[in-house]
């Protein structure tokens, strides 16, 4: 008999596990379906923030940042409790400034 019949057939090339077509397909589909949308969302978010800042900075289309600060720096949208607390604190500070400084 010949030596080739004793070996038992053809040679089979063994590739590493990471060359398996199923594994490569899984990695590619994961990258396309999970990683690319993440970067897409990040870029959309940054673009929206940038456009919003540019829009308000240059006042395009009549948009400006409202000056919502009223007397003593209290926003006009503040609650009545907040306004009351701030006004009491301002009055207390004014009283402390008017009292003479007592040094022992």
Report pLDDT for 40.
Answer: 93
pLDDT in tens, 38-84: 999 999 999 999 988 888 888 777 777 666 555 656 666 677 888 88
**Contacts of 72 by beta carbon, 8 Å cutoff, 6+ apart:** 86, 87, 90
Compute the residue count for the chain.
Answer: 104
Cα(32)–Cα(14) distance, integer angstroms: 28
pLDDT in tens, 3-26: 555 566 788 888 887 788 888 899
Residue 72: closest CA among 92, 86, 93: 86
| In contact, 84 and 74? CB cutoff 8 Å | no
Report pLDDT for 48.
Answer: 92
Q: What angle do CA 83, 86, 92 make, to 5 degrees?
A: 140
Whole-prediction pTM = 0.38
């Amino acid at each position: 008999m010949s030596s080739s019949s004793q070996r038992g057939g053809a040679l089979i090339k063994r590739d590493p596990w990471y060359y398996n077509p199923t594994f490569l397909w899984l990695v590619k589909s994961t990258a396309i379906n999970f990683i690319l949308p993440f970067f897409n969302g990040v870029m959309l978010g940054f673009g929206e923030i940038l456009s919003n800042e540019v829009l308000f900075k240059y006042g395009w289309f009549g948009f400006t940042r409202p000056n919502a600060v009223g007397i003593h720096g209290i926003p006009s949208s503040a609650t009545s409790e907040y306004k009351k607390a701030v006004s009491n604190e301002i009055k207390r500070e004014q009283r402390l400034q008017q009292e003479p400084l007592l040094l022992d």
